[in-house]
Structure 1
Amino acid sequence: MEVLTSEAVTSAKGYDPKRAAQIYDRMAARPSWNVIAPILRIFRWSASRLFPLGIRVNVKELEKAKATMAKHPGNLVLLPTHRSHIDYLTMHHICALYNLPTPCVVAGDNLNMAVIGPLLRRCGAVFIRRSFGGDHLYTAIFNEYLKGVLRSGGALECFIEGGRGRSGKLLPPKLGFMKCIVEAVEKGDVEDVWILPVSFGYDRLLETESYVEELQGTPKKAERLLSTVSYYWRTMRAALNHKISFGRVDVGIGEPISIQEHMRIHRTKSPSTLQWDFESNSLKSVPRTPEQQSQALHLALAYRSLDQCNQCSTILPAALVGTVMLLHRDRGLTKDTLIEKVGFWQREIKARGFKILEGNESLEHNIDVVVTRILTGEGRTNLMKRHKDLLITSAFTPDERLELSIYRNQIIHIFVLEAQVAVGIQSCLRKQSAQHPDVPQEDLLLPKKDIREECAFLSYLLKAEFVYEYTKLTEKSGGSLMAVNFEKGCDVFVKKGYLEPVDGEHFRRRWPAPIKQSTLGRFCDLLLPFVDSYFLVLLGAVRLLPDQVMEEKAFIAKIQSVGERLYFSGEMDHYEAVGKETLQQAVQRYYQIGVLLHTYPPEGRGKGHAVRLAERFRSEDAMHELIARVHAFRRTTDMSLDNVIEAVKNMP
């Protein structure tokens, strides 16, 4: 075993030959086609029942990717999105069907359970811990194992989001795997590596019920053999009896990325980054250290790969129907209205160069399939409630709103730039209206500088929440991708007739017809649930004043409790803002920008990570100022902000 005798492993801190062998045995894949072949046959039979509309692969994209990778040699690394546990087998099915090398798959050791674990290992699973926790020996063995696979000419597969996304959108990437394969190229272990981004899209996820429970704060249940087999059997029986349908699976293939080529591009990028300065209330350029510059290369490669996953994904009809049902503000809608609104989103998606499902079937037929077969079912699977000829949108339970938000989040990456500008415009408009109450809204001048500042703060706050389009910085942008994005967003609303440029420094809001007014509102509604989540974290942080320490899990649970109370009291419009995944991401972002500090609970008061306020925000004035800054983006409510904060303080 070359891995265990390599210098990197034997010189690792804490090296012990016996423990190293144990780690390797638990980690290493032992692929065998004698096991893979029958499992794929079972998978294809099962998939044809669970997904009666089929598994669709964009063959044209795949052939184009193969032609690109044939230009010069390099190992294949597959980077698929991670939506469901069946992603593993779906990828193997595609590799076998279209003559791609069968990869070794980096998988969480939670799947290394009795019976299933050994089978997955024989299918190529490389089992690793969720966190290496500073274990130098474990890290060295993992890195050397991956490099060994590449040196031997093998292929790898990794879900760089680190786990299955519960909210419907891509998660921020984990960089350990990316760092390893970049080092393999830099140090000459392999000539080059081709990264092939792959996107999985589902009309409906098998794990939706458990995802909704976890988003509400229920701890994730550990995988167990009996529970896994039992769930599979119940789901298959329901599918065979036509009580439930999961629709289709769509597989998109992105443009291959050469690591050698990416490193050449990255060397020309600016060795600085933007940070928000709370003193001047503006963005400032901060130089990177050499270590940060190296990390920036890995981060850029990871986000470039995830962007390609977004670019090659196909927006399925179920995502559009779910989005319309969630965003519709009236109590119900007719089938004709549903078709009209889905058509609106289809046109907007195609106008931005993204793909929708197109075929011989009409839009009306596709919507009928979604309404009658995919989003309709028994018990908790039924999202379509009817009254005569209306679909009811006012009676969604909290569980159902969370499930529908999974569909909305499948399209948000397409509109995130316009959504940020739309929210910035609305915030600026409210401020101008308050300053000039006697001026009709159609005559108000909105300073472009003010809108830009609003968008800059909002974009910085939500920077880690979305995967933005990978763009090479140009001279026109002055080195600022944020400036390019702002101009793109403004151009959309100018072309739609919502904004009228005035003297190059101001916009005038054209008095909109109802359809234009609702267009701006639709873009706002895509983003406002995330704004509410980040607002909730700050409200929860008020309870840390002046210098309290709280276990992070308890802190997030408290935030969810606060959010539920605000939602049911009418002070928050979006129940999905209490989703655990987004709140966790918001907490991480506040760590990054220096609002919260990562610490540990006092001795004897819990285990794991804890949270406290950064020194700058340990006064009520500083916290209230920041809360008001984020609150300005939200949809206004009857209760004043001071009363909301006071109510949160008094909650048990």
Structure 2
Amino acid sequence: MADNRPPAPDSAPDLRILGDEITLQPSGFMEPPREGKEEALMKNMARFRSEPLQFLREVSLYVSGTGWRAYDDVIGQPIFYSGFSEHIKTQVMSAPLLQTKISELAEMRVRVEEKEGLLNKDDKDFQMKRAQRRANLVQSLQDVAEDLTDNMICKFENKTFIRGAYYVVTQLLLRAYHQGIHVSSEEVLRLRAVAEEAARKKQSIIFLPCHRSHVDYVSLQLLTYRLGLALPVVVAGDNLNFPLVGSFLQHAGAMYIRRSFGDDQLYTTLVQAYIDALLQGGYNLECFIEGGRSRTGKLLPPKFGILSFVLDSLLSGRVEDAIICPVSTQYDKVVETEGYVTELLGVPKKKENLADFLSGGSSVLSLRLGRVDVRFHEPWSLRGFIDQQISRLSKVPSAINIDWRDTRNTMVRQKLLRTLGYKVLADINDVSVVMPTALIGTVLLTLRGRGVGRTELVRRVEWLTARVRAKGGRVAHFGNAPLSDVIERGLDVLGKDLVGVVNGLAEPTYYAVDRFQLSFYRNMTIHLFISEALVAAALYTHVKRGGGPSIQDIPYRDLHDQVLFLSSLFRGEFIYSGEGLAVNLERTLAGLEADNIIHVEKDEEGNITKVGLSDAERSAGRENYDFYCFLIWPFIESSWLAAVSLMGLVPPLGQRDDIWLQVSKTQESAQLLGKTLYHQGDLSYFEAVNKETLKNSYQRFEEEGIIQVVKSKDTKIPPRLRVAPEWQPRRDETTGQLIASGRLWDFTEKIASSRREGKNRRDGATVSTRVVKLTDELGQKLFEEAVRGEKERSKKGGKSAPATLSSEDARSLSRSEKEKKRRRTLEGRAHL
């Protein structure tokens, strides 16, 4: 390269990959001018319209496999040869685990038929007929398993196909993301070294990326191909397996699995056998740690489905080791965000189909969405992680008597699985790059007022950039470009539908047009500041009182308790440091004090007694303190809304108390309540009606036993819930109205104490009367609908979900409640 000077110490140089061109770029968001030019290792792709002959020449290079395009000397196990699929299918079908399960299922069925009299034990040829019947069942199950395997497995068969696929997909991707894919040279070199060692040991690399867009798996496949690594098998939902596209993806690396396995023991065992075959063969694997795509911009809680299969492969001894590689993929603009907003506002998600795929793809090609940044965390041994965790758990005193070295124990596996999932999420956050669009979106949504001038926007983005780096985060670089140019470019990518500008003023003034959609980009930065945001929200319980500074100061014990409460409330929303509340709180307060945002009073022994806003922060109009509050307030609003909605789920007077409501309908009702309260001024943020955040709140309430949820074995019956009896507020025995008191009311008020105070809203009395009445009216409609549906069910042809529990459901609920209590004891965490 022309510039051989060492990179800036805060990050490695970038490799910019644009078609055939790889360019080494200096690190750092702002760099002084450098002498020399960046050297392109390969020429960029030609376009047919402008250079038809060069275009045809490049196509021939891919088809013939010239140079690196041949994809011959890859790092990893052999793939893309005729017979690969049959080889894998044979490995899966001959797996002892699968064959044992098939035998068990056949035997179970024979016993059922014996019990039902379909096989006559008095028949003189009974044993022969029984054996014959069992053999037929085994063969039928074998045939079913073989068909399922063929539909599931990826088919790395043809090298010419993957060369052409790489070329075509790269052309399409780079028309949308016209500034290419960026990776860190240091991370790529490290990954290649790890891959070489893994290939030598015949170990798999398990890539665990975050998931914000369908482009995620496309970009990672392109990178592994271009960098000469064996393509990973990508775990994909079978909703993508539609005509033409499904087959294309399967031959490019997709393995299809059902979204839900239910009680299908054969299918579950089949997936385990396939995962075993891949890991035993040293084939790379890619699985999205969050399950589905994040519609909110931040990381979702981990999904443990495929991870549990991987963990079982190692804990059972069927696989010796595998390498875990967390991956972060960030975008200037995510193409699906407009669709995400529609879904989050309650519009049902459309099933994928070829027509939408083609029409959506053609519209994307005309966009200029900037660039994609992919970052690889340092890979680590899964076996080493397991051994380390077991050793640590064995030394820590536990509230329950358990042998942590017994990896067959379900509780031990659950603990390992949960710790694994959250470690991966933390690693992804550690290497994530903050894009300019995320900086702009964050600034616009954390300022008071209608808009912001160009000068102020640049100043606040500069401040936020410094804060990101101070927190150990990374900011995407743009070489020597001035910050004002980078911001202009980010505004251009976001577009006028998200950020508007008012010209003809003293200076151009920008404002958020679509705050809901823009929040997707703000949420890409929130993980860096969650500790500060929680402290700011806890401090706000006193700041909102007004009056002099001394009145607004908060005793340390009150601050600690509210931070503990909020951090537990959002345990399913955010990823925290594993060092514990005491260490995190102390470090956060010290950081805020060093930034001159707060002042801290201590006693003679050095213990913190009181915390408040600093004089400098007050003089500056609380702009930095407000920044942290604005980050967390939409989530506080959503949790408050979810808690308020529960108030209406108390059976009306005279109503049976054993009525269970569909979870989906209660959440839809909560969303309707939120939209009403927003337009009536009782909610400050329309984002609070976000379906995903409300869903997370309900999940958190279930974990804490505030609501009880029962899931029937019958997949046609949706999950149902009720407010736990000990949490239900009382009703006035005369009027039947809800009384704003009791455990649930106090819980809701504790959340409300950190809510943003609105101009036209007075919490307390307003909420206890009008808002509670509104949620009660919506709740009564749910009960009326459930009772009406129950009556229809009793009639012939009724199809609604039952409003009461069967004896089997009741037993399932009892087991579930015991399991939740045991899990809470096992986790040993603070609770609401």
The normalised TM-score by structure 1 is 0.89
Secondary structure of the residue aligned to 2:369 is coil
Query: Could you tell me which of 626, 630, 634 is aligned with 2:751?
Result: 630
Q: Is 1:464 equivalent to 2:572 in the alignment? A: yes
Secondary structure of the residue aligned to 1:255 is coil
The code of the aligned residue for 1:151 comes to: Q
Deviation for aligned residue 1:19 = 2.5
Query: Could you tell me which of 583, 595, 608 is aligned with 1:496?
Result: 595
Query: Could you tell me which of 418, 428, 433 is aligned with 2:532?
Result: 418
Residues 407-426 of structure 1 deviation map (CA, whole Å, 9 limit, x = unaligned): 01000000011111111121
Residues 306-349 of structure 1 deviation map (CA, whole Å, 9 limit, x = unaligned): 21111111101011111112222211211111101111110100
- Residue 505 of structure 1 is matched in structure 2 by 608
Query: Relative to structure 2, which stretch is displaced further, 489-498 or 583-592?
Result: 489-498
Query: Relative to structure 2, which stretch is displaced further, 286-295 or 617-626?
Result: 286-295
Q: Is 1:264 equivalent to 2:387 in the alignment? A: yes
Whose Rg is larger? 2
Aligned CA distance change for structure 1 residues 557 and 521 (closer, same or farther; 3 Å): same
Deviation for aligned residue 1:367 = 0.4
Alignment of structure 1 residues 468-617 onto 2, 5 Å:
468-469=576-577, 471=578, 473=579, 481-497=580-596, 498-503=598-603, 504-509=607-612, 510-511=614-615, 512-515=617-620, 517-546=622-651, 547=657, 549-599=660-710, 607-617=717-727
Query: Could you tell me which of 248, 253, 278 is aligned with 2:376?
Result: 253
Deviation for aligned residue 1:41 = 0.6
Deviation for aligned residue 1:14 = 4.2
Q: Is 1:343 equivalent to 2:462 in the alignment? A: yes
Higher relative contact order (CA 8 A, sep 6+): 1
Deviation for aligned residue 1:466 = 1.1
The code of the aligned residue for 2:212 comes to: R
Query: Relative to structure 2, which stretch is displaced further, 353-362 or 11-20?
Result: 11-20
- Residue 180 of structure 1 is matched in structure 2 by 309
Secondary structure of the residue aligned to 2:705 is coil
Secondary structure of the residue aligned to 1:218 is coil
CA distance in 1, matches of 2:152, 2:277: 13
Alignment of structure 1 residues 371-390 onto 2, 5 Å:
371=491, 373-376=492-495, 381-389=497-505
> Root-mean-square deviation (CA), in Å?
2.5
CA distance in 1, matches of 2:524, 2:746: 33
Q: Is 1:62 equivalent to 2:178 in the alignment? A: no
Q: Is 1:38 equivalent to 2:161 in the alignment? A: no
The code of the aligned residue for 1:639 comes to: R
Query: Relative to structure 2, which stretch is displaced further, 161-170 or 183-192?
Result: 183-192
- Residue 353 of structure 2 is matched in structure 1 by 224
Query: Relative to structure 2, which stretch is displaced further, 71-80 or 52-61?
Result: 71-80
Alignment of structure 1 residues 426-437 onto 2, 5 Å:
426-430=540-544
Aligned CA distance change for structure 1 residues 98 and 499 (closer, same or farther; 3 Å): same
Residues 576-628 of structure 1 deviation map (CA, whole Å, 9 limit, x = unaligned): 11111111111111111111111269x9xx94112211122122422211111
CA distance in 2, matches of 1:48, 1:445: 53
Tell me, yes or no, if the aligned pair for 2:452 and 2:511 is still in contact at 8 Å.
no
Secondary structure of the residue aligned to 1:268 is helix
CA distance in 2, matches of 1:468, 1:122: 39
Deviation for aligned residue 1:501 = 2.6
Residues 91-127 of structure 1 deviation map (CA, whole Å, 9 limit, x = unaligned): 1100011122111111010000000001111112110
Secondary structure of the residue aligned to 1:83 is coil
Alignment of structure 1 residues 120-139 onto 2, 5 Å:
120-139=249-268
The code of the aligned residue for 1:231 comes to: G
Tell me, yes or no, if the aligned pair for 2:542 and 2:551 is still in contact at 8 Å.
no
5+ unaligned residues in a row in structure 2: which ranges? Answer: 1-89, 107-140, 403-408, 652-656, 731-741, 779-832
Aligned CA distance change for structure 1 residues 68 and 452 (closer, same or farther; 3 Å): farther
CA distance in 2, matches of 1:592, 1:393: 42
Aligned CA distance change for structure 1 residues 502 and 571 (closer, same or farther; 3 Å): same
5+ unaligned residues in a row in structure 1: which ranges? Answer: 275-284, 474-480
CA distance in 2, matches of 1:392, 1:557: 37
Aligned CA distance change for structure 1 residues 198 and 23 (closer, same or farther; 3 Å): same
CA distance in 1, matches of 2:247, 2:204: 26
Alignment of structure 1 residues 279-318 onto 2, 5 Å:
287=400, 290-318=409-437
How many residues align? The count is 613
CA distance in 2, matches of 1:272, 1:556: 42
- Residue 319 of structure 2 is matched in structure 1 by 190
Deviation for aligned residue 1:268 = 3.5
Tell me, yes or no, if the aligned pair for 1:69 and 1:194 is still in contact at 8 Å.
no
The code of the aligned residue for 1:537 comes to: A
Query: Could you tell me which of 80, 98, 116 is aligned with 1:9?
Result: 98
Deviation for aligned residue 1:444 = 5.8
Q: Is 1:453 equivalent to 2:561 in the alignment? A: yes
Secondary structure of the residue aligned to 1:327 is coil
CA distance in 2, matches of 1:312, 1:39: 29
Q: Percent identity?
A: 30
- Residue 805 of structure 2 is matched in structure 1 by none
Aligned CA distance change for structure 1 residues 458 and 262 (closer, same or farther; 3 Å): same
Tell me, yes or no, if the aligned pair for 2:498 and 2:515 is still in contact at 8 Å.
no
Tell me, yes or no, if the aligned pair for 1:166 and 1:211 is still in contact at 8 Å.
yes
- Residue 361 of structure 1 is matched in structure 2 by 481
Residues 242-277 of structure 1 deviation map (CA, whole Å, 9 limit, x = unaligned): xx4211111111111211221122123347999xxx
The code of the aligned residue for 1:592 comes to: E
Tell me, yes or no, if the aligned pair for 1:428 and 1:454 is still in contact at 8 Å.
no
